[in-house]
Amino acid sequence: MLTVAAVLVGLMAGLFFAFDVSVMPGLAAGDEQTYVTAMRAFNKAIDGNPLFGTVFVLALVAAVLSAVLEFRGGRRAVALWVGAAAVAYLVVLLITFTVNIPLNNELADAGEVARMKDFEIVERFRTTWVTTNIIRTLLCTTALAALARALLLHGRATR
């Protein structure tokens, strides 16, 4: 279960990182209409993808379950590292549900792109969404590092 948690959190860290280093800078180089159209398409693809939803939620479930199993197995140091990872990932979920998803919805509801005259929403979206995505990347990477440490300690404890 610990390995599953590490893989799932790693996938999420990679997704957020890819947006940080390629998707968002690439979109920022274009015009506002392209930005809105592309972000809407990305969000629609992610929202409608059951594999994404499964990985997104199961990363936390696997981490919490791993922490419980490690604690019950008497490996308290491992459980602490996994618990720290679970908390970091929980913060990622909270940021996503309280900041990023509402921004995605606001952008989706802004009307037809061809008729948009006021692109102030794009600037608000760009600054807040990008910043919180960087935070999500850092938190997921922290969670992944904690899970890597837990895997190492688990291996030592079970030899």
Which amino acid is it at 103?
A: L
CA distance 85 to 113: 40
Q: What is the dihedral of CA 68, 143, 8, 150, to 10 degrees?
A: -50
Contact 142, 88 (CB under 8 A): yes
Measure the CA–CA gap between 43 and 62, rounded to whole angstroms: 25
Q: What is the full per-residue pLDDT of the chain (159 aa) written as tens digits?
A: 999 999 999 999 999 999 999 999 999 998 888 999 999 999 999 998 999 999 999 999 999 999 999 999 999 999 999 999 999 999 999 999 999 999 999 998 888 888 877 777 888 888 999 999 999 999 999 999 999 999 999 998 887
How many whole angstroms separate alpha carbon 45 and alpha carbon 114?
21
CA angle 39–115–109, rounded 5-degree value: 45
